[in-house]
Amino acid sequence: MKGASLISTVLLPVLSVNAVYTWPSEYDQLEDILYLQQGYIRFGLRDGVTPCNFSSSGGGRQSAAEWIRTAYHDMATHDVETGLGGLDGSIAFELGRAENPGDAFNATFAFTEDLRSIKASSADLLAMAVVVSSMACGGPIIPYRGGRVDAMKAGVSGVPEPDQDLATHTAIFAKQGFNTAEMITMVACGHTLGGVHGVDFPQITGNGSEENFPKFDSTYTTFDNTIVTEYLGNNSTDPLVIGQNDTFNSDKRIFGADNNKTMTSLADPTNFQTQCSDIFARMIDTVPADVTLSEVITPIEVKPWGISLFLAGNNTLSFGGYIRVRTTNRNADDVTVSLQYRDRKNNTSTTTIPATRERYLLGQSYGFASEVFTWYGFSTVLDATTGISSFDVILHTVGAADEIITNNGGGFPLSDAILYQPAQSCQPQVAVNDAGQWNITVTAAVRADRISEPVAFDWVSERAIPGVMVKSLEVQRTAMEKASEEIDGYYLFSGTKSIDNVQWSTTFDVVLGEGDNVSKVEFQSTSAMATSCKAFS
């Protein structure tokens, strides 16, 4: 980001901006992962399923189909009567069961776990994997919600298997909450991609080699209704329809469960896409009864990102970061951005802070459905005596009135009561004991009027679980002690913790206060920390 100076301006009238989203949100990380697929800042979940026939495991595999299968198997043991089970990540602990054969599940976790954090559960990422697989293969947009909670142990068994009869399958789907027509739709939509792995089901394919992978339909790399039309046209390639051993022809039994009424309706390609979007949304939203999901997560129009605020010396605070603007329906070349802030006493500044469009990769990120986001960086200094409490974002568009984005009226909030000090924090990556542990040191600046309150950092411990791809996450608190005399109205506090060196890349929060009066700087990355701490100057 280029440096920015404060420029005098008159106050601008506020235009009404209707938005449900309020920053910050506990679902900000999920929104980033879902929508920032390519470009300047990206999370790249789509990489695992692009192109649609791709698999990092090589021939005889298709990741998009495997991601959908993993999510379904995780959800499939839900019980609508008891409210137990559902999409909760427990599949990671259930892979020794005959109902869950093959490497598809661990291959899915091998990709999604790189994005898991205290802000993005394994279960939320499995649900998102279904959304991304559909979009990557030309399928429908599936509404996505967040808030799933990871189960850290196996649940009950009960995933349907291909050699079970129709009555058993119907009962299993009913237990999950789906009627006969919905069962047919779920299977048809789930089998529009991929096929049957011979190595996992040689009794179906007749060949147990790694490369043997008979497909469900002739367009297995496109999310379309060929699975339906080929079945109705009696020219199906689906090994679960035309298999020589009729015991395993589960798709044939399910598709014909209502005398082809549902399959006939799905022969309309538009209806197929609509019904698949609906049934997959219900699938990924099937969660234990004690879990409450968010509203549908939609792309945010204007979103602060990577905001930093720290004590910089000479009675100043360094204030910087990005403003991410959704320019899907805007001409980014016509848009400029600035910020207007309020001081600690909520007085509005008569100056604005310009934000400059980033130029690397055009300063843009891209998502599915032609979504475009343009990044504007800013960096400036503020008076430490008066501080900051919130800011508005001003969008200046050529030929149009300025828009002031007020975060639903309250401004984008910032607390200057506690500041994370990155230069005075470090992770030296040097063994400090016989166990080979490293020390991590976190330093924060605490405003003088609040130094009597407790100060700590909450570090997320990620511990491997033997035989399981997912790790346990545990928040561990370390108290921080005063480490300086008064500096420009602040005192430095510091804390040190010994960690296993395999946990070098995780996150932490710095926390001031307790009860109803807590101020935080959240979700700081340990992998971004320097290997040595600098003295404050």
One-letter amino acid identity for 269?
A: P
- Please, what is the Cα angle at 175 between 469 and 169, to 5 degrees? 85
Cβ count near 452 (within 10 Å) = 8
Q: Nearest Cα to 379, choosing from 322, 338, 325, 319?
A: 319
Across the range 476-480, mean pLDDT stands at 98
Count how many Cα atoms sit within 13 Å of the Cα of residue 67 in the half-sphere of its side chain.
35
In order of start, what are the domains of the chain with their CATH numbers? 51-285 (1.10.520.10), 302-415 (2.60.40), 419-525 (2.60.40.10)
For 108-165, the pLDDT digits (tens) are 999 999 999 999 999 999 999 999 999 999 999 999 999 999 999 999 999 999 999 9
Strand, helix or coil for residue 276: helix
DSSP H helices in 121-165: 122-136
The pLDDT score that the predictor gives to residue 13 is 35
Across the range 92-104, mean pLDDT stands at 95
The pLDDT score that the predictor gives to residue 20 is 75
Q: How much of the chain, in percent, has pLDDT values that exceed 90?
A: 93
For 368-379, the pLDDT digits (tens) are 999 999 999 999
For 59-72, the pLDDT digits (tens) are 789 999 999 999 99
For 271-294, the pLDDT digits (tens) are 999 999 999 999 999 999 999 999
Cβ count near 55 (within 10 Å) = 19
- Among positive and negative, which fits the CA dihedral 243, 249, 251, 252? positive
The pLDDT score that the predictor gives to residue 57 is 82
For 281-335, the pLDDT digits (tens) are 999 999 999 999 999 999 999 999 999 999 999 999 999 999 999 999 999 999 9
Contact residues for 211 (Cβ-Cβ < 8 A; gap 6+): 59, 60, 198
For 212-248, the pLDDT digits (tens) are 999 999 999 999 999 999 999 999 999 999 999 999 9
The pLDDT score that the predictor gives to residue 59 is 75
Q: How confident is the model at residue 169 (pLDDT cuts 50, 70, 90)?
A: very high
H/E stretch holding 441: strand 438-447
Supply the angle between the helices 104-112 and 122-136 in degrees, to the nearest 10.
100
